[in-house]
Amino acid sequence: MNDDLSANEPTDAVAEVRTSSGPLAGLRVLELAGIGPGPYAGMLLGDLGAEVIRIERRGAESAGNTDPTLRNRRNMTLDLKSQAAVDVVLRLIERSDVLLEGFRPGVTERLGLGPEICCQRNPRLIYARITGWGQDGPLSRTAGHDINYIALTGLLHQIGDKQGRPVPPLNVIGDYGGGGLMVAFGIVCALFERARSGRGQVVDSAMIDSVISFTAPLMGLRNQGYWIDRPAANFLSGAAHFYDTYETRDGKWLAVGAIEPQFHQLLLERLGLDPAEFALGVGFQQGLYSELVEDVWPALRSKLAAAIRRYSRAELEAMFDGSDACVSPILSMQEALEHPHNVARKAFIEIDGVAQNAPVPRFSRSRPKHPQAPRAVDANTLEILKELGLSTAQIEHVLTAR
C-alpha cells in the first residue's frame, strides 16, 4: 500500500474550493414572485449558494432564459387565493430559513401569509419585506416606482443637466441598490443575529429609507459647505471640469474622474495642457466653493473639452492606457462585454448562450457553482409538492383549488 499523496491530488484547501457551492449553501429562501428588487435579491442569494424556491401565480407566463435575475431558482405556481395553496406555502415555511416578499403592505396578511402567522409556524424564520415607501407612513399604501422613491429623498434633485432638469438614473438606485441589494444585506444580518439568539425576525426594507442612506456622503459634503442643492452644480455631478463626460472627435464619449491633484496633473500632461491655466481649479477651499462652480470650472471645462475633442476615443484610450489619470472610455453594453479588463476577470458569463453578469462578490474559499439558467415558472411544482409528502389526491386538490 502506497501512503504517498499523488502529485495530481488537490490539497485540502483546493479540494474545498472545488466542492463548495457558495457561502450560503444550505440556506433555503422562499420567494413570493414579484418584479424588480425581489427577483434581484433572489438572484444575489441564489448566486451565492442559497436554494431559492420561487412561487409564481398560477397562469403566469415564463420569461424564457434571458433574464439573469430569475436564474438559480426552483419554480412552482400556486393560486394563493386558495386555502390549499396557502397551506402548502405554510408547510414550505416550516422548512425554510427566509421568506422574501415585495407586495404592498397588507397583501400577505390578507392572503393568510403575514409575518405573525408565518413566524408562529417557524420561529426561526427571517421574514424579509421589500416596499417602496415602507410598512407605515402616509405613502405606505400608495403605488410608486424607483423614480418616485428617489424623488422624495433629495437624490434625484442632484442628478441632471445644467438647465436644472433632473434626469432619472435608470432604476438602479431605488430598485436594485435600495431594494434588492439592501434587503439581501438585511437578510444576512438577520441570519447572523439568529445564529446567536436562535430567533427569526421581520426585515422591513423600504427603498426610500435605503436611498436616504445612500445620501449620507452628500449630506456630509453639504454640511461642510461643499455641496449646492441643485443638478449639475457640484464636483461629482458635472460642475467641475475634472469629473465629467466629454465627447471625442468621433462622436464617442470619455469619462474623466481626475479629482486628486496628482491625477489632475497627469490628465493635463497627457493632453499637453498648461497646468498654470488650471491651477485655480484644482481642489477647493471652504467658502470658495460657489465661486469655483460659477466662475472657474466652466471656463476650464471648455478648455478641457476642446483638448479632448481633438482626438478619437481610441486615440485617447491609448494615450491614457496604464496611467493614473482616471480616464476611461464610456462603453456600450456590447463593448463592456468585450473589454479586456472585464474579460480577464470573467465579469460577464454565458448561461445557455445568454450573456449576463457573473455572481458577486467573490470568495477565496466558498466559491459558488456556475449559475443555472432560469426555468419555466411551473418547472418544479410537482417535484416540490411531492417533497412535502402530499398524496396524489392532495396534489390534485392543490393544483385545482380556487
Taking a C-beta distance cutoff of 8 angstroms, is the pair 32, 379 a contact? no
Distance (Å, whole) CA 272 – CA 307: 8
18 sits in which H/E element = helix 12-19
CA atoms within 13 A on the CB side of 66: 3
Within 10 Å of residue 30's Cβ, how many Cβ atoms? Answer: 24
Q: Is 175 a catalytic residue?
A: yes
Distance (Å, whole) CA 202 – CA 217: 28
Tell me whether the omega of the peptide bond preceding residue 361 falls within 30 degrees of 0, making it cis. Answer: yes
Q: Is 295 a catalytic residue?
A: no
CA dihedral 363, 367, 373, 374 (to 10 degrees): -70
> Given 97, 146, 175, 204, which residue is catalytic?
175
Distance (Å, whole) CA 148 – CA 138: 14
Taking a C-beta distance cutoff of 8 angstroms, is the pair 180, 38 a contact? yes
Q: What is the DSSP string of 92-118?
A: HHHT-SEEEE-PPTTHHHHHT--HHHH
> Given 79, 145, 157, 378, which residue is catalytic?
145
DSSP symbol at 281: G
325 sits in which H/E element = none
The long-range contacts involving 311-320, CB below 8 angstroms and separated by at least 24 positions, are 311/248, 311/249, 312/248, 312/249, 312/250, 312/252, 313/248, 313/250, 313/252, 313/253, 313/254, 314/250, 315/249, 316/248, 316/254, 319/270, 319/271, 320/270
Which residues are designated catalytic?
A: 145, 175
